[in-house]
Amino acid sequence: MEKKSKFYPFDYYVLLFFLLAFAGWLWEVALFLVTDHALINRGVYRGPYLPIYGAGGLLLCFLFRRLRKHPFLVFLGSAAVCSMLEYFTGFFLEMLWGIRWWDYSGHFLNINGRICLLGAVIFGMGGAALVCLLLPLYEKWYHRMPVTWRVGLMLGLLAVFVLDATYAAVRPNLGQGISQPVRKT
């Protein structure tokens, strides 16, 4: 007998999105702190979140939750899906603003500087950890939180995000260590 897919309320996905977007922001800030010795707010927005990580994480949860018992398949799928997401997001941002928020041109097996092999491997490992280990913990945490708190937190985060996105549409977060103009070749 086939298992029915499990759907959660809207706030489940919104809170997961922000948790993953914040985790991605922490990862990038820590990475630049270690490599460049600088505290840099990475990304297009001003807030402590990188929506590409939230969207990518949700996508991985939707696509691979049923493969939770097969971490290697989740790893391979996550590497592929996240690389495609990163490539097309980078392309879109470059077309929209003529700016790059990341450039892997110096990395092994990169494609147009938008993705590289190392990034794919890291995304694969992160996706496997998310789907196979962290998602069950998040589900426990989510169900322990009172509904009024979840909804209030969701509404507050969405309000801040909409304001930040509106501001970033006009004045994206730019500067040293954050972005660079796209070079015409």
pLDDT tens for the chain, 185 residues: list them. 444 457 789 999 999 999 999 999 999 899 989 988 888 888 889 999 999 999 999 999 999 999 999 999 999 999 999 999 999 999 998 898 888 888 899 999 999 999 999 999 999 999 999 999 999 999 999 999 999 999 999 999 999 999 999 998 888 888 776 766 666 55
Burial class (CB in 10 A: 0-12, 13-18, 19+), 41: middle
Residue 132 belongs to some domain of the structure = yes
The pTM score is 0.87
Cβ atoms of residues 20 and 58 within 8 Å: yes
- Record the tokens describing residue 102, joined without a space: 């990341």
Structural domains in the chain (count):
1
Whether residue 45 lies inside any domain: the answer is no
User: Is 151 within the bounds of a domain?
Assistant: yes
Largest CA distance in the chain: 56
SS3 category, 183: coil
- C-alpha neighbours within 13 Å on the C-beta side of residue 3: 6
Residue 180's H or E segment, with its range, is: strand 180-181
